[in-house]
Amino acid sequence: MKPSVILYKTLPDDLLARLESHFTVTQLADLSPETVRQNAQTFARAEGILGSSEKVDKAFLEHTPGLRAASTVSVGYDNFDVAALSERGIALMHTPTVLTETVADTMMTLVLATARRALEVAERVKTGEWTGSIGPDWFGIDVHHKTMGILGMGRIGLALAQRAHFGFNMPILYNARRHHQEAEERFNARYCDLDTLLAESDFVCISLPLTEETWHLIGAGQLARMKSSAILINAGRGPVIDEKALIQALIEGKIHAAGLDVFEQEPLPPDSPLLSLPNVVALPHIGSATHETRYNMAACAVDNLIAALSGNVKENCVNPQVLK
Ligand code: DGY
């Protein structure tokens, strides 16, 4: 008999067919307590789950006694209680490589859009305000040759450094858990502590996962260390920034602007002050959201689950100790 798998994300037809050729698949809308209650038998016999953007915690795992693998269609896995999964011997699979370049493109989009005020002035064109030669009140600031500070030198940080160094002649500073030889050799990136990076960077770009250590890493104290002309970019996870402190810093002109793809609460609530600040570019978590990359992520997640449930994992496992 094929192992039972719960799918909580829509897949392209060919990938669904691939999944179904290995497993008995039940497609559900989400993993909410209500869905779990209504499909108790299905959850009880599930050996695998595949999807994204749903919490998988201790309480959820009580309903899945037979679970052996969870496959997320994302690189980030802050929705999962990894310790609880590992304790139960459940492999957690993710998609770390296929989205790197696309997310780095998103970060560069935020850098350019905030610095050149692209969305703000484009809106003025649409509303008919472009009636003559533009003056300084429409000007932005340069990106090229400015200093980029990168928090988190993982794959995405490295791809961002590559763009900034070769494409925009930007000196690169970075802070990470350890020195990154490739970044230093290829992009002349300079390792520095957080305070130095904040003080010296024109663009502070966050490419960090959400962990206990990174939660509210950037708060009022850190924002105060940034140049008043600096721009803060976040495409990691929203709660890495204390959003209230950021709003205050933007209102008081302590920093110049912010480009955000992620937020403390997603979707961003309609009454968020961020929406009325002209110096904020807010995107709806589009980091990896291109047709090509989302397809590749879904394909990777399907292959990851097949590998995990057949004992063939070679890569992409967050907690490989459970495989031994
Ligand atoms: C991820 O995969 O974790 C990213 O946030 C997707 O954009």
CATH number of the domain to which 201 belongs? 3.40.50.720
Residue 218 shares a structural domain with residue 120: yes
Residue 324: the pLDDT is 79
Give the separation between CA 263 and CA 247, rounded to whole angstroms: 12
**What is the extent of the structural domain holding 185?**
100-282
Which ligand 1 atom sits closest to the C-alpha of 286? 7
- 67 and 126: one domain? no
Average pLDDT over residues 238-262: 98
Cα 118–chain centre separation = 22
| pTM reported for the whole predicted model | 0.96
Residue 274 — very low, low, confident or very high, per pLDDT cuts 50/70/90?
A: very high
In a domain, 287, yes or no: no
* 42 and 180 inside one domain: no
Region 277-286: mean pLDDT is: 97
Number of domains in the chain: 2
- Over the chain, what is the mean pLDDT? 97
Q: Is 135 within 8 Å of 112 (Cβ atoms)? A: no
How far is it, in rounded angstroms, from Cα 26 to Cα 8?
9
Annotated catalytic residue: which of 68, 117, 237, 256? 237
Question: Do 247 and 127 belong together in one domain?
Answer: yes
The reported pLDDT for the residue numbered 156 is 98
Q: Report, as an integer, the average pLDDT of 105-113.
A: 98
Residues 172 and 227 in one domain: yes
Ligand 1 centre from 236 Cα, in Å?
8
Same domain, 122 and 239: yes
Q: What is the 173 CA–ligand 1 centroid distance (Å)?
A: 24
Catalytic residue of the set 68, 94, 165, 285: 285
Q: In this structure, are 222 and 297 located in the same domain?
A: no
The pLDDT tens digits for 46-74 are: 999 999 999 999 999 999 999 999 999 99
For residue 305, name the pLDDT band (cuts at 50, 70, 90): very high
142 domain-assigned: yes
Kindly state whether residues 265 and 309 are assigned to the same domain.
Answer: no
Both 89 and 219 in one domain: the answer is no
Tell me the percentage of the chain whose pLDDT exceeds 70.
Answer: 100
**Pair 23, 162 in one domain:** no
